């Protein structure tokens, strides 16, 4: 049977990382990690897993390849069990293999939790493997670059401190052509909410900031965006296993909101960012819940619709289908609100199957897409099951309120010739809404 060793992909970051390792060094770091950061969860999971293989069908990689080495349990057996069995004393090449499995063959989507009777959290185990790889300095080059960026400028895309307000003002200027009274309020203390986005938005998807501003403007909201670092809610360090940088980024994010004394943080349509802010970094920082309430766009749009603040001129006529992003569905239970918003905006919604909490992953999340070109083909081919699922709906518009999902789904759509295009809820709202001031 084939294993990870039979499909290794050259990555400069991984190669350079393992070249610096020795079995002794690996053993030392591994033992420190297990003793220092792991506890009952890892021990219980590793010990009580009965190797029944029921989780196989949970994973889009397995469902696409039908190769037993891609099942959730196989990914754990090729990484954590192997390391534990050797007490961490393994050849550097093994770490290369562990890293490729952990960073590029698992999206941490947690679908397998719906398959394991014992409730084993494979995503957690794989995160521990990533943590080890990070500590050993064996991380894929592309995602490590984003983590470095987080470390240096507190955002993912090397956006300089002055480029950020510059970009916002540029978008404000553009939008004022359409909506003369529109503002993108910077650093307004005491605003109702701080809107935060991921760094790719100012970098190359400025249209999304424009749209958000237009929607908030039409709804007459009291909002703000920070003018300082701390504006980026994305967090690739969370996925490289760099918990220290992860928590620095989130701390800056929370503290920026606190500095602005906003009532809450509204996050753009991104899934992993929400996971970091809502579910992960707060724990590392010692917060059981968040120091500032955190709301995802899906829920926020839902509220605005409930309050009658979003008015649309007409409904989107073409049939659409909904992709449920793992981090806000399995991670936040927004499936009903996502549907209510979509049904509010669209005439005809065709559900894909399975959906809601049971939806297949886009295969881009969990940092996998961020590992860059070397692994691109694997993640696209590794999600033919998603392509089949999309094709079966027979529709041409796909609503996906998550950046990573967009990236992954667009790749699948073009590879498998599905003839679909993806939309954010913001895209739809902007397209359909009444634009009172518009000229």
Partner 1 sequence: MHALYDLAVGPLAWLAFGVFIIGSVYRLLAMRALALRKDGAFVAYVSWPHAFKSLAHWFTPFGALGWRENPGVTIATFIFHICLFLVPLFLMGHIVLFDTFRGWSWPALPDGAADVLAIVVVVICAYFLWRRLSVPEVRFVTSAQDVLVVSLVGLTFLTGVLAYHRIGDNLVLTTLHILSGEAMLVAIPFTRLSHMLFGVFSRGYIASEFGSVRHAKDW
Which residue ranges make up the site for partner 1 (CB under 8 A)?
A: 1, 37-41, 43-45, 47-58, 62, 68-69, 71, 73-74, 77, 113-121, 279, 283-284, 286, 288, 329-333, 335, 354, 357-358
Beta carbon of residue 110, minimum distance to partner 1 (angstroms, whole number): 9
Q: Provide the angle, in degrees to the nearest 10, between the axes of the packed helices 92-104 and 12-19.
A: 150
Give the span between the Cα atoms of 271 and 200, in whole angstroms: 14
In this complex, which beta carbon is closest to partner 1, that of residue 55 or of residue 199? 55
Beta carbon of residue 238, minimum distance to partner 1 (angstroms, whole number): 15
Question: Cα 229 from chain centroid?
Answer: 20
Planar angle of CA 208, 172, 421, nearest 5 degrees: 20
Beta carbon of residue 341, minimum distance to partner 1 (angstroms, whole number): 16
Q: Please, is 194 exposed, middle or buried when counting C-beta atoms within 10 Å of its C-beta (0-12, 13-18, 19+)?
A: buried
Distances from the Cα of 335 to the Cα of 64, 165, 176, 305, 340, angstroms: 25, 34, 34, 16, 9
Beta carbon of residue 40, minimum distance to partner 1 (angstroms, whole number): 4
Beta carbon of residue 301, minimum distance to partner 1 (angstroms, whole number): 17
Beta carbon of residue 2, minimum distance to partner 1 (angstroms, whole number): 10
In this complex, which beta carbon is closest to partner 1, that of residue 58 or of residue 413? 58
Give the span between the Cα atoms of 36 and 30, in whole angstroms: 10
Beta carbon of residue 424, minimum distance to partner 1 (angstroms, whole number): 21
Beta carbon of residue 130, minimum distance to partner 1 (angstroms, whole number): 17
Residues in a beta bridge with 295:
266
Contact 124, 75 (CB under 8 A): no
Residues in a beta bridge with 312:
433
Say how many C-beta atoms besides its own lie within 10 A of residue 317's C-beta: 10
* DSSP H helical ranges for 154-268: 163-178, 200-204, 206-219, 236-240, 243-259
Beta carbon of residue 236, minimum distance to partner 1 (angstroms, whole number): 21
For residue 161, whether the previous peptide bond is cis, meaning omega lies within 30 degrees of 0, is no
Beta carbon of residue 63, minimum distance to partner 1 (angstroms, whole number): 10
Give the span between the Cα atoms of 354 and 357, in whole angstroms: 9
In this complex, which beta carbon is closest to partner 1, that of residue 91 or of residue 121? 121
In this complex, which beta carbon is closest to partner 1, that of residue 49 or of residue 188? 49
Question: Cα 222 from chain centroid?
Answer: 28
Can you give the length of the chain in residues?
A: 439
Contact 186, 226 (CB under 8 A): yes
In this complex, which beta carbon is closest to partner 1, that of residue 37 or of residue 434? 37
Are β-strands 320-322 and 349-350 bridged in parallel, bridged antiparallel, or unpaired? parallel
Residues in a beta bridge with 179:
none
Q: Tokens at residue 270, please?
A: 């991104």
């Amino acid at each position: 049977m084939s294993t990870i060793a039979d499909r290794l992909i050259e990555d400069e970051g991984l190669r350079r990382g393992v070249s610096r390792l020795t079995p002794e060094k690996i053993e030392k770091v591994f033992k420190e990690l297990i003793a220092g950061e792991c506890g009952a969860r890892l021990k219980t999971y590793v010990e009580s897993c009965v190797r029944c293989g029921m989780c196989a069908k949970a994973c889009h990689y397995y469902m696409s390849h039908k190769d037993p080495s891609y099942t959730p349990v196989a990914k754990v057996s090729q990484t954590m069990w192997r390391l534990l069995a050797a007490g961490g004393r393994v050849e550097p090449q093994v770490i290369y293999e562990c890293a490729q499995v952990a960073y590029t063959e698992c999206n941490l989507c947690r679908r397998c939790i719906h398959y394991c009777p014992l409730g084993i959290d494979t995503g957690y185990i794989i995160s521990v493997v990533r943590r080890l790889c990070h500590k050993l300095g064996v991380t894929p080059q592309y995602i490590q670059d984003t983590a470095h960026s987080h470390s240096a400028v507190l955002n993912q895309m090397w956006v300089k401190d002055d480029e950020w307000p510059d970009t916002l003002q540029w978008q404000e200027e553009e939008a004022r052509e359409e909506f003369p009274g529109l503002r993108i309020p910077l650093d307004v203390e005491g605003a109702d909410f701080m809107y935060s986005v991921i760094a790719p938005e100012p970098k190359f998807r400025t249209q999304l900031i424009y749209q958000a501003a237009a929607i908030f403007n039409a709804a007459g909201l009291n909002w703000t965006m920070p003018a300082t670092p701390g504006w980026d809610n994305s967090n690739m360090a969370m996925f490289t296993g760099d918990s220290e940088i992860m928590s620095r980024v989130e701390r800056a994010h929370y503290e920026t909101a606190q500095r602005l004394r906003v009532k809450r943080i509204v996050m753009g349509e991104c899934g992993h960012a929400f996971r970091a802010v809502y579910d992960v970094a707060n724990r590392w920082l010692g917060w059981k819940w968040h120091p500032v309430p955190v709301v995802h766009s899906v829920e926020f749009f839902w509220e605005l619709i409930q309050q009658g603040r979003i008015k649309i001129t007409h409904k989107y006529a073409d049939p659409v289908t909904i992709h449920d992003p793992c981090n806000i569905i399995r991670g936040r239970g927004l499936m009903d609100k996502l549907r209510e918003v979509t049904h509010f905006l669209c005439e005809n919604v065709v559900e894909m199957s399975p959906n809601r909490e049971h939806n297949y992953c886009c295969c881009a999340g969990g940092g996998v897409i961020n590992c860059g070109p070397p692994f691109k083909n694997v993640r696209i081919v590794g999600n033919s099951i998603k392509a089949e699922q999309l094709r079966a709906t027979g529709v041409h518009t796909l609503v996906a309120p998550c950046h990573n999902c967009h990236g992954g789904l667009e790749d699948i759509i073009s590879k498998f010739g599905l003839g679909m295009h993806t939309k954010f809820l913001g895209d739809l709202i902007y397209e359909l809404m009444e634009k009172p001031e518009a000229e």
